[in-house]
């Protein structure tokens, strides 16, 4: 009985650990923050500038967002446009952290394509003391789950409108 109680206490303690560092493939993954930007397109692409930090803080500047008003009709959603701050939900943060830790950031590459009619995705990831910039209109398939998570954070998080404007870090063109 004492052994079972000890095991339960150990498991409970493990489940409460904040997912900031995990070990993958004999290497420790340490997440600092992720920056996510989307650009306009010739359609109804939202324009987001998002920052999520390791302490679960979110800053979001939404320049443009749309709301489906009828079956195939969209209107600009002014309630989602502006500056917002808040905290990411624990479950969302855990999923984001897990995806970042398994996506193999060291070998992940975007082709920097910026042609055509689509939104250019830019991610700046700070991890393991590094800063990695990824940019493309056509990101690789292995990054799509992560990008979907970031879009969900932008569109579905319950954030507070901020009266104070801020700038989310941007990557310069020559980086």
> Are the C-beta atoms of 74 and 66 separated by less than 8 Å?
yes
| Residue 40: closest CA among 66, 59, 60 | 66
pTM assigned to the model: 0.81
Specify the pLDDT at position 172: 72
Domains with residue ranges and CATH for the chain: 19-161 (3.30.1560)
Specify the pLDDT at position 51: 98
**Residue 155: CB atoms within 10 Å:** 14
Q: What are phi and psi of 135, to 5 degrees?
A: -145, 130
Secondary structure of the chain as H, E, C letters: CHHHHHHHHHHHHHHCCCCCEEEECCEEEEEEEEEEEECCCCCCCCEEEEEEECCCEEEEEEEECEEEEECCEEEECHHHCEEEEEECCHHHHHHHHHHHHHCCCCCCCCCCCCCCCCCCEEEEEEECCEEEEEEECCCCHHHHHHHHHHHHHHHHCCCEECCCCCCCCCCCCCC
Specify the pLDDT at position 173: 54
> Which pLDDT tens digits describe the chain residue by residue (175 residues)?
443 344 444 433 434 434 444 444 445 889 999 999 999 998 889 999 999 999 999 999 999 998 887 777 888 889 999 999 999 999 999 999 999 999 999 999 999 888 888 999 999 999 999 999 999 999 999 999 999 999 999 999 999 999 999 999 998 754 4
Residue 125's DSSP bridge partners are: 34, 132
Specify the pLDDT at position 100: 96
């Amino acid at each position: 009985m004492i052994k079972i109680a000890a095991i339960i206490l150990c498991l409970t303690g493990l489940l409460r650990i904040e997912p900031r560092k995990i070990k993958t493939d004999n290497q420790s993954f340490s997440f600092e923050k992720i920056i996510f930007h989307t650009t306009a397109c010739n359609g109804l692409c939202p324009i987001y500038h998002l920052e999520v930090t390791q302490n679960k803080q979110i800053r979001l500047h939404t320049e443009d967002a749309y709301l489906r008003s009828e079956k195939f009709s969209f209107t600009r959603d002014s309630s989602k446009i502006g500056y917002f701050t808040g905290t990411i939900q624990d479950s969302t943060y855990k999923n984001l952290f897990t995806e970042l830790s398994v996506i193999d950031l060291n070998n992940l590459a975007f082709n920097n394509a910026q042609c055509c009619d689509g939104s250019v995705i830019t991610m700046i990831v700070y991890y393991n003391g590094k800063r990695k910039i990824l940019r493309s209109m056509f990101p690789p398939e292995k990054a799509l789950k992560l990008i979907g998570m970031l879009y969900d954070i932008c569109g579905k998080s319950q954030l507070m409108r901020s009266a104070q404007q801020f700038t989310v870090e941007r990557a310069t063109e020559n980086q």
